[in-house]
Structure 1
């Protein structure tokens, strides 16, 4: 799983870089239930297609608009699956057992993921088209299975920050979604505490 950061914008307008560490966790930054509602960007199939153009799928091969075929039904399925992940991953990050029904939803989503291919003429990587919404859910589901027992699944330690990430750092001590945001806020808080200033 290679490093690919996304630029996120907080409700306060601050922009910061965030590396979720996995495609299934990257899907969570599109919104979701609870705290994610304020960040929802998936309102129609075109929104999912647009988001995928800058997703981790590009680590394997470039994603082009013409590669994608996201039907309304597939779109709704992906959003429901993403919302299920919002139940599973926070539970795991806090050492709780996810609901059996949510685990079954992951099992049910496991199917054929997008298939990369090599163009025989140019030898460039691309995708076997069309890439469908169900394949997107399958890609996320397959990764989710690998994370179910990962000790490096984390939730940001920042106050009121619910971003989840896979800690891919060598020492395995990442605590923050981003040093530009929650990490910096913690540094400021610690400095003020040491100097006797207001928190």
Structure 2
């Protein structure tokens, strides 16, 4: 599976691939706002392991041992993630986000991962160690680029009634409607087919 594409298990127990289209939206898949039942980032090592297969590794590989995250940084990342959940849902619904939540995103954008040219190989690599503050800032800066830029209308929620997954439509025509064609897209096709059959 491509880096940044995550295997999600639906409520029916069936796994399906999901490409959120952006790192800050991929981060949402690790858990939800306070009170939600699932949480993948229970400790700092969980985040380090998760980053290895994240969209950040599309730029350059990430080794878990190169990631140094303090507990306070993990808490800050989870707080940003919860804020991003709220802000992106509001924007995808065509509404205006709360100013305090936008300021939380702005304040998190202080630092970011630093790409560099490896002196021995001449290829791109991440400057190490990778800190939690850098991960936090990278997610925040990418969110700011989308929310405050001309791609804001590409921030979407899956159109299936029983799906709340958010994604950035990176397709050339800009007509992505579903979290995954293998799941919600296919279910919509089956539903539409059955409705047509019932009308005949």
**How many residues were matched structurally?**
195
CA RMSD of aligned residues (A): 1.8
Q: Is the 8 A contact 2:22 2:168 kept in 1?
A: yes
* Pair 1:169 & 2:168 matched: no
Q: What are the ranges of 5 or more consecutive residues in structure 1 without an aligned counterpart? A: none
Alignment counterpart, residue 151 of structure 1, candidates 133, 150, 153: 153
Report what 2:57 is aligned to: 58
Deviant stretches of 4+, over 3 Å: none
Paired with 1:170 and 1:125, the residues of 2 have a C-alpha distance of 27
Paired with 1:157 and 1:40, the residues of 2 have a C-alpha distance of 25
Q: Is the 8 A contact 1:3 1:21 kept in 2?
A: no
1:196 is paired with a residue whose SS is helix
Report what 2:11 is aligned to: 11
1:43 is paired with a residue whose SS is coil
Paired with 1:158 and 1:131, the residues of 2 have a C-alpha distance of 37
Q: Is the 8 A contact 2:7 2:17 kept in 1?
A: yes
Paired with 2:108 and 2:140, the residues of 1 have a C-alpha distance of 6
1:172 is paired with a residue whose SS is coil
Can you list the C-alpha shifts for 1:42-75, whole angstroms capped at 9, x where unaligned? 1111111111010011111100012100111111
Can you list the C-alpha shifts for 1:12-42, whole angstroms capped at 9, x where unaligned? 22111111111111111111127x9344211
Q: What are the ranges of 5 or more consecutive residues in structure 2 without an aligned counterpart? A: none
Report what 1:180 is aligned to: 182
Paired with 1:25 and 1:57, the residues of 2 have a C-alpha distance of 12
